[in-house]
Structure 1
Amino acid sequence: MYRNIMVPIDDSHCSSRALDEAVRLARATGSNLEIIHVIDYGFLRVRAHGGELEEEHQHRVAAGNALLVKARHHAERAGIKFTERLLDDKSTLGDVANRLIHDIQDSKPDLVVIGTHGKSGLQRVVLGSVAETLVRHASVPVLVVRGDIPLAEEVAAGQSTTSA
């Protein structure tokens, strides 16, 4: 079935839900979980002051590492095998989706699990969608977890965590 499941994370509710689902799948299938955080350098397109850039870089790296530590604890509590990586590549200039596509080609996971806000129409056009780009261009299956729909285990337990 699955040997390696990749889950890109950021600091959003839908990403947290995707991590929950990826951990559940990894536990159920005995898979290795590959937890990824991509530093988003989209701010470089609009702001380019030397000292500020280094400070912003340090802030983003620290925040990314904190996310990975939190995800690591989640995976450890679940008792699954996992790796974690911080992708720090300024050349992407905010194109997180394309950076993930390249990483998928290199690491060759069997499945990618990613969260989405479930936006549509103008909101999606304005905000863009990393999840949609992965669905369209990744060379492996992509499981999209919406942040506003309860996961199967929550439904079974009678819980609901819907949010906008």
Structure 2
Amino acid sequence: MNNYRRIAVAVDFSDQSLKALERAKNVALTNKATLLLVNVVDTKSFGSVAAYDLKYAEKLKQQSEEKIYELKSRLQAEGVPTIETMIEEGSPKQVLTGLTNVDLIICGATGLNKLEKMVIGSVAERIVRYSPYDVLIVR
């Protein structure tokens, strides 16, 4: 694990994603790598277009920005050399499998959306199947 220079970690603030973040921090420190914190406001779970409320999505995005900033500050205090953040709206599966210019993607085995895991298949599974990069799933 000594050749990773840019590591993306999927953060939805679930317990599993925070475990993945801890692992990503350790890998980043070992490799002196850039750590990319990726959060996706899952607008695909909002339901129909009629029910989609732009203000609701914007509020969720703002909350995510505040939480990501707190995580970034903590990681900087813990010695991670370079931290970037990315907050997107859309489908976590599409955003995370569409990342470019990373060497490793780290995510938790499960996240906040338990229903999607049962019905459609987990985000983690999608990343493993379709990411062109190395993937580390953390339990």
User: TM-score, length-normalised on structure 1?
Assistant: 0.73
Match of 1:98 in 2: 94
Distance 1:43 1:29 in 2: 36
Give unpaired runs (5+ residues) of structure 1: 147-164
Distance 2:53 2:25 in 1: 35
Q: Please report how far the alpha carbon of residue 110 of structure 1 lies from its aligned counterpart in structure 2 after TM superposition.
A: 0.6
Match of 2:9 in 1: 7
Q: Please report how far the alpha carbon of residue 47 of structure 1 lies from its aligned counterpart in structure 2 after TM superposition.
A: 5.8
Distance 1:61 1:138 in 2: 25
* 1:56-78 CA-partner distances (Å, limit 9, x unpaired): 11221112112211220232122
Calculate percent identity across the aligned residue pairs.
26
Coordinate RMSD, CA, aligned: 2.2
What amino acid maps onto 2:60 in structure 1? R
Q: Which of structures 1 and 2 has the larger relative contact order (alpha carbons within 8 angstroms, sep 6+)?
A: 2
Match of 2:27 in 1: 25
Q: Please report how far the alpha carbon of residue 116 of structure 1 lies from its aligned counterpart in structure 2 after TM superposition.
A: 1.6
Match of 1:129 in 2: 122
* 1:3-38 CA-partner distances (Å, limit 9, x unpaired): 110011002000000000001110111111011111
Give unpaired runs (5+ residues) of structure 2: none
- Map residues 3-152 of structure 1 onto 2, 5 A cutoff: 3-46=5-48, 48-49=50-51, 53-80=53-80, 81-88=82-89, 92=90, 95-102=91-98, 104=99, 107-117=100-110, 124-126=117-119, 128-146=121-139
Does the aligned pair in 1 maintain the 2:110–2:124 contact within 8 Å?
no
Does the aligned pair in 1 maintain the 2:117–2:123 contact within 8 Å?
no
**Bigger radius of gyration among the two:** 1
User: TM-score, length-normalised on structure 2?
Assistant: 0.85
